[in-house]
Structure 1
């Protein structure tokens, strides 16, 4: 175990490949029993605290959601000394108030993914760990995010159910209609197994969901434009450093 003291680890999603404002940085390639992480972990100083940053899809967005090595990513952050992780996720909005550029701190999720390595128990000789996943996100970390949002005046929606789909394709209207019936408010492709792996490592974990577009059939658009998605995502992502700075300074 490293002696690094990390106050917060941030896993950046689509549109967040580097962490603005991180100073005195160093890069760390961490070997794991689960293969190679998405890239090097960048350690630096931010808001008077020690922060680790990892780009989930790689710094050049070379990894699609179903090919991300979630186990290696979480293991690497844990090995470097992280104890709390914020996963920043680009999502589609299903609920009417979760339109483009909305920022949401969900409190529940449903996993629709398949074929991914979902547990550290999958390797030979590992202890089987039946985690309690009733509440998939750490309440205290969610509370810190929401408090920071109130302090800075950034509009953030408290709660909602994140539906994790396989990707990399976007969903059909029928799939989104089913997810709405299931109780999903957001749809994304990277929320699982990241959240459950964090729980297996006893890491605090919360999701900061940035809405890039309305999901299929939920908005007025006949077709979802990738250019529009990234424009909305850039606007929402710009608020992330200010929000996290307020959280760390609290």
Structure 2
């Protein structure tokens, strides 16, 4: 049974009942992760928590070291990664304070490294279904048990940021692209988790209506922070319920843990040893 990794913000990792909690530095070939990793045990379940922006919120969405973060969690033995992040909503029914278990993504980021692979070792993984349905099922059950208002399924549009959307962009994403929520951090995180053969699922915590809503057409950071504080208790309860159910065991029925089986195209004799050394944790199974 593997360890559950959680990537989220401050206020989420202070989980009641987390035993043997300690912060640990983790070295990766991709540089330092966003912060040290908090490890601990919830009953029989091992947890690893990584603050995405670092404690004190020191990394902007563009500057989060996504590759180092995913590598660090894989290196610590995580087999599942739960993303907990704030988002804006394009749907009236997905109101501030509600949680959305994301089912798909539209990636509009452009200034971030999006793959562990490249010159010296080329690979192409499928992200047709970028989140693990098994992990999503468990998150939905945990949310219901925790009494959290939760929507199962929704398309998350990942924007570059750090500025919020214009009204025209917000309306386009909602009315023409069919997105349900918007945030700045789940890409390339989800793509990298797939390359690292980790089950990945995202819990998007709605803080606002972005800028499309005629009654809420300006996103105010003060309102977002107030809602985030209210959401953090629910997020901790959800993670606690998930941990109480234990980490998943056995092969992933959706193949997340076998994503690299046929992905690497570079011939073995043409693979760069320096690149392979950087891939020891994320792709060691197939290399």
Of residues 185, 188, 202, the one that matches 1:207 is 202
Which 4+ residue blocks in structure 1 deviate beyond 4 angstroms?
Answer: none
Of residues 4, 20, 24, the one that matches 1:24 is 20
Residue 224 of structure 1 and its aligned partner are, at CA, apart by 2.1
Q: Matched residues in 2 for 1:154 and 1:87: separation?
A: 16
Residue 76 in structure 1 maps to residue 76 in structure 2: no
* SS at 1:238 equivalent: helix
Residue 145 in structure 1 maps to residue 139 in structure 2: yes
Q: Matched residues in 2 for 1:90 and 1:73: separation?
A: 18
Moved more, 31-40 or 161-170: 31-40
Aligned to 1:56: 52
Of residues 214, 218, 224, the one that matches 1:229 is 224
Residue 52 of structure 1 and its aligned partner are, at CA, apart by 0.3
TM-score using structure 2 length: 0.81
Residue 222 of structure 1 and its aligned partner are, at CA, apart by 4.3
For the 8 Å contact 1:173–1:217, the answer to whether it is kept is yes
Please show how residues 93-172 of structure 1 align to structure 2 within 5 Å: 93-122=89-118, 124-125=119-120, 127-172=121-166
Structure 1, gaps ≥5 residues long: none
Of residues 236, 239, 250, the one that matches 1:241 is 236
Aligned to 2:86: 90
Q: What is the total number of aligned residue pairs between the two structures?
A: 243
Structure 2, gaps ≥5 residues long: 246-287
RMSD: 1.5
Q: Which has the larger radius of gyration?
A: 2
Residue 6 of structure 1 and its aligned partner are, at CA, apart by 4.9
TM-score using structure 1 length: 0.92
For the 8 Å contact 1:210–1:237, the answer to whether it is kept is no
